[in-house]
A = this chain, B = another copy of it.
Amino acid sequence: MSKKYVFSFAEGDGKNKHLLGGKGANLCEMTQFGLNVPPGFVITTEACLEYQDLQDLPEGLIEEVKGHIKSLEKSTGKIFGGAENPLLVSVRSGSAMSMPGMMDTILNLGLNAATLPGLIAQTQNERFGYDAYRRFIQLFGKVALGVPDELFDEQFDEVKRQAGVKADIGLNAEHLQDVSERFLNVVRNHTGKPFPADVFAQLEIAIKAVFNSWMGKRAVDYRREFKITPDKANGTAVNVVTMVFGNLGYDCATGVGFTRNPATGENEMYGEYLVNAQGEDVVAGIRTPKPVHELAKEMPDLYRQLVELRDNLEGHYAEVQDYEYTIEKSVLYCLQTRNGKMNAASLVRTSVEMFNEGLITKEKALLRVQPNDLEQLLHPTLDPKHGQKPLAQGLPASPGAASGAVVFDADNAELRGRAGEKVILVREETKPEDIHGFFAAQGILTSRGGKTSHAAVVARGMGKACVAGAEGIHVDTRSRLATVGELTLREGDIITIDGGTGNVYLGEIPTIPPVFSEELKTLLGWADEVARLKVMANADTPDAARKAVEFGAVGIGLCRTERMFNASERLPLVVDMILARTVDERVEALAKLLPIQREDFKQIFTAMAPRPVTVRLLDPPMHEFLPNEHQLVEDIDAIEHYRKVVAGHIAAGGVLNRPLLGGDLTPDELNAALSKKERMLRKVRELYEVNPMLGHRGVRLGITYPEIYKMQIRGVLEATAECLQAGLDVHPEIMVPQVINVAELNRVKVWVDEISTEVEAKFGIKLNVKFGSMVETVSATVRANELATVAEFFSFGTNDLTQAALSFSREDAENKFLPLYIETGIIKDNPFEALDVNGVGPLMEIAVTKGRQSRPDLKVGICGEAGGHPESIQFCHQIGLTYVSCSGPRVPVARLAAAHATLLEK
């Protein structure tokens, strides 16, 4: 028996998209579970593949097709090529995956000079008949015969000109008859043959055209580009469907609908329709469609049928559907359905409600929502209806939208911010000394720097909106203005930034506040039940800690102590510590910092109790706390100049006028200021490093200046003791950064033990502080077995580890070669956003394996940027990590991703 190439909708396997294509399978599926689909059949992808081999239709195919046409004639009572009641069909392509470059749909196939009168007679509408005819000739001519569209358009324009009308609607039946005849001539002239009148010839040509389009250049390129390999889609099927018309009168209509409201997720009838219209009229926007509720009044019975259709669709697909239908002479046909695209809020709401309604399982409810989609729910976003064009574009460095007055320095930001004004801090780039401006501002905009610039990192940590590296904006801090092309922004001008897109707008644009809905809480609760990975937050302040709890973090996986150093009233103490000429001077400066850090720790521990808090000892190199060399040289020049002015003023008998702090300074005061700046400059030069990423930082700094780490350790331990004494169940952990071997850990551990003993004696209390190591150098990964003899936990710093594994400096890579690398496919994703599982992943696996060789119950987490990235979280799950830690607003994303990791494993 020969192979079966053709399946009617009643017999095709709705699950077999590979054989029948997506559309064909779906039409079979809908037909078989009882929806009223216009009858039709599918020619398989196998036939397509054989066609490619043979360069001809496989034997027997046309006979099979003819048999199925016979069946269509039987079920519709129409005759294909019949003069009285002609059967018309549509012919369309459909492979397992949708792709551009495939053939457009041919409608109304089956029309010719003989059948046209039958259609006109049946529809009682001459204009409709000729209109259908000329459309068919053009579409078939173009798609199946390769006649250029322009040749048809020329003729059509000519008729319109002769008729003196501008739009198609002005043409009557006669005009359209003229058009049809001209079109037939176009085809004859171009192809050298008359337009095929025989309907089976039409059908055969159309089928071949569909098959040919599979190997067309555009389709082949597309499959190569998007790696659509034969296992995903191999060949296209051909769908032949009986035409139904929504434009045959006022008992006809056509419409589109969602089974639930895609904007809100509400479980209600949703959609639009047009009476006496074709599907393309709804799309074209010539007439305004009506909301579906009006159909209830206009055609109550059909509305009931439509509600039933909707229920059937959801009941069957267990997913919100986006569907199309046509009503022909009071009969409702379902033409198409597919999964509905929704925003995150709707996805979350429908997930929870569909589970509650018993439509889907919890697993399905969780898997329907992509973790990354949640992020848009957690920041204010621009009202999508604003319609404004951006002034400039930078990098989307920290999500959220914010509006405010432009300010060009941190002091001013603080001043205006305290006065209650909303401000956006606009800088060329930011430095730690700007940090008080961050606290005061709604958002940060810089004209230089990437997603890892100071501005970006700090803003993300604070959950503030940030657009970085908007190179089109030229910031002139001295003149206190910025220019964008011809436009000048002055201090106080209102702008809006969108940290989710990187866009910058002039003026205030309304924002939509974030929603942490009950449904989202429910869904994330389910995620936590499923997930094996715990989710912690990176948080450096008591405020961030409280937010982390709100976001559902089960602890703080990374508390960066250097962030505490940056606050404006603390920075001078840190600078004194750095400028210290002796150990004693340094100890003295540190003694002033101790109570401040201890108080921070107390508040953070308290906010998190009884959850663990992992405190990382100082990591960055000291020069990060000082202004840059350039700035200092300028400051010194300025002071020296001012000193001359003051001296001249005094020499000329002037008096000093100091109504305000910051007014005139005496020569002595100026000398002191100058001397301090000069010391800072010397220190900056002394601290200069060729490769600061790989320089004097982390534990290397801690071991060189033990006073610093000892102060921080004391701060943690005393804060713990005070909390415990107050009856709080706190669980602090001390973590050492940049470790390469266990000797470093041992060195720091001795200090922890010594100070512990001291604090325990002083408070008469037993401390419960854990001790662990960052794993962010490659050496630490291969020596993890040694480290785990001392470390009670590990935390991967994937940012640093990635830089070390790839020998990429992130700041340099993102500005220089990384875009080209990603574009040309040398690497798949930016490895600083998505963990490089091939280059970095193996090191993490080694560390986990070796670490647990020494300490089987070793807690292992990750606190780099990848900790909030869903694919990376899946990898962390696979290699057996205990937790991931990410910035607060990414916590919900990570919780869902952790659940997905478990579910996808099965």
Binding site for B on A (CB under 8 A): 689-696, 700-701, 703-704, 738, 740-741, 743-744, 747, 776-779, 782-783, 800, 803-809, 811-813, 816-817, 820-821, 824-827, 836, 838-840, 842-843
Contact = CB atoms under 8 A, between A and B. Distances in A.
Contact of A827 (B701, B741, B777): B741
Contacts of A836: 779
A321 B689 CA distance: 52
Contact of A691 (B691, B703, B777): B691
A803 B747 CA distance: 22
B779 A806 contact: yes
A838 B700 CA distance: 18
B704 A817 contact: yes
Contact of A812 (B689, B776, B825): B689
Contacts of A806: 740, 777-779
A820 B703 CA distance: 9
Contacts of A700: 816-817, 821
A805 B826 contact: no
A825 B783 CA distance: 17
B691 A693 contact: yes
A809 B703 contact: no
A689 to B, nearest CB: 5
Contacts of A816: 689, 695-696, 700, 704
B740 A839 contact: yes
Nearest to A688: B812
B783 A690 contact: no
Given A694-B694, A820-B703, A826-B747, A779 B805 contact: yes
Task: Return the 7 tightest CB-CB contacts between A and B, nearest first.
Answer: A779-B839, A691-B809, A694-B809, A782-B842, A695-B812, A696-B816, A743-B826
B804 A807 contact: yes
Given A804-B778, A838-B741, A690 B826 contact: no
Given A693-B691, A693-B809, A803-B694, A843 B782 contact: yes
12 contacts: A691-B691, A695-B813, A696-B816, A704-B816, A740-B806, A743-B825, A747-B826, A779-B806, A779-B807, A779-B839, A782-B838, A804-B804
Nearest to A807: B777
Given A782-B842, A804-B807, A839-B740, A690 B690 contact: no
A632 to B, nearest CB: 16
A428 to B, nearest CB: 14
B741 A779 contact: no
B782 A812 contact: no
Contacts of A692: 690-691, 809, 812
A358 to B, nearest CB: 48
Nearest to A845: B782
A703 B782 CA distance: 31
Given A741-B838, A743-B825, 5 more contacts: A690-B811, A692-B812, A740-B807, A779-B806, A782-B805
Given A783-B839, A820-B703, A826 B693 contact: no
A83 to B, nearest CB: 63
A805 B777 contact: yes
A744 B826 CA distance: 6
B807 A694 contact: yes
B691 A820 contact: no
A809 B695 contact: yes
Contacts of A693: 690-691, 693-694, 807, 809
Q: Which of A694, A741, A747 has the most CB of B within 10 A?
A: A694
Contact of A826 (B691, B703, B826, B843): B703
A778 B807 contact: yes
A696 B817 contact: yes
A895 B594 CA distance: 58
A703 B744 CA distance: 39
A473 to B, nearest CB: 19
Contacts of A811: 690-691
A741 B744 CA distance: 32
Contact of A808 (B694, B808, B813): B694
Nearest to A805: B778
Given A694-B691, A807-B804, A843 B743 contact: no
A335 B561 CA distance: 67
Contacts of A813: 694-696
A741 B690 contact: no
Nearest to A841: B782
A700 B815 CA distance: 13
A181 B820 CA distance: 95
Contacts of A824: 703, 747
Q: Which of A778, A821, A825, A826 has the most CB of B within 10 A?
A: A778
A777 B805 CA distance: 6
Contacts of A843: 778, 782
Contacts of A703: 817, 820-821, 824, 826
A811 B843 CA distance: 26
Given A778-B778, A816-B696, A738 B807 contact: yes
A469 to B, nearest CB: 14
A689 B805 contact: no
A243 to B, nearest CB: 50
Contacts of A839: 740-741, 778-779, 782-783
A636 to B, nearest CB: 17
B690 A809 contact: yes
Contacts of A776: 807
Nearest to A701: B817
A808 B691 CA distance: 9
A172 to B, nearest CB: 60
Contacts of A694: 691, 693-694, 803, 807-809, 812-813
A728 B269 CA distance: 85
Contacts of A827: 740-741, 743
A640 to B, nearest CB: 20
A831 to B, nearest CB: 9
A782 B782 CA distance: 12
Contacts of A701: 817
Nearest to A739: B807
A693 B811 CA distance: 12
A630 to B, nearest CB: 11
Nearest to A842: B782
A740 B807 CA distance: 8
